[in-house]
């Protein structure tokens, strides 16, 4: 997957899944799990979206190691 380097030196995948406006609950969990299954490693989320607990649950249940994810220190 293509990446780009940020000014901080961190590299992030060019393609990511944004969960803004995905409703809390199963919809968000399934979207994130599917994205991780097909190779996404960048999930764009924020506390204000109200679904970060579901993003975290999906990541845990996905079996993908946190170290493989962009921004894993914030999870």
Q: List the catalytic residues.
A: 49
Closest C-alpha to 40, from 6, 71, 9: 71
For 33, the token pair is 């799990």
| Burial (0-12, 13-18, 19+ Cβ within 10 Å), 51 | buried
């Amino acid at each position: 997957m293509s990446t780009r380097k940020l000014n901080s030196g961190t590299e992030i995948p060019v393609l990511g899944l944004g969960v803004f406006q995905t409703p809390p609950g199963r919809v968000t969990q399934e979207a994130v799990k599917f994205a991780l299954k097909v190779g996404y490693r960048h999930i764009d989320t924020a506390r204000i979206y109200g679904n970060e607990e579901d993003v975290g649950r999906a990541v845990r249940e996905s079996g993908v190691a946190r170290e493989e994810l962009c921004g894993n220190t914030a999870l």
